[in-house]
Amino acid sequence: MQILVDTNVLLRAAQEREPANTVVRTLRRQRHVLCIAPQNIIEFWNVCTRPADVNGLGHEHERN
């Protein structure tokens, strides 16, 4: 079965100690196909690089 993964699940799964990691691993073990949309990538990037004091994760992006 194909499952569209919400951005919030991706954000939680990106944090090591979150229960979403267990859910994602379980779905993959059950051979489900996890899908994301381009919008998920945009939202994920925005939250990851937003400062933590304004509800982001505060990760820096690398500049070349």
> Between the CA of residue 33 and those of 10, 23, 43, 54, what are the distances in Å?
14, 13, 21, 33
- What are 43's two structure tokens? 């939202």
Q: What is the predicted pLDDT for the residue at 63? A: 65
Q: Which two tokens mark 60?
A: 């820096």
For residue 43, pLDDT beyond 90: yes
How deeply is 48 buried, as exposed, middle or buried, from its count of CB atoms within 10 A (0-12, 13-18, 19+)? middle
Distance of CA 47 to the CA centre of its chain: 10
CA distance 15 to 21: 8
Residue pLDDT, tens place only, 12-42? 887 767 676 788 888 999 999 999 999 999 9
Residue 22: per-residue pLDDT: 81
Domain residue ranges of the chain, discontinuous segments joined by +: 2-54
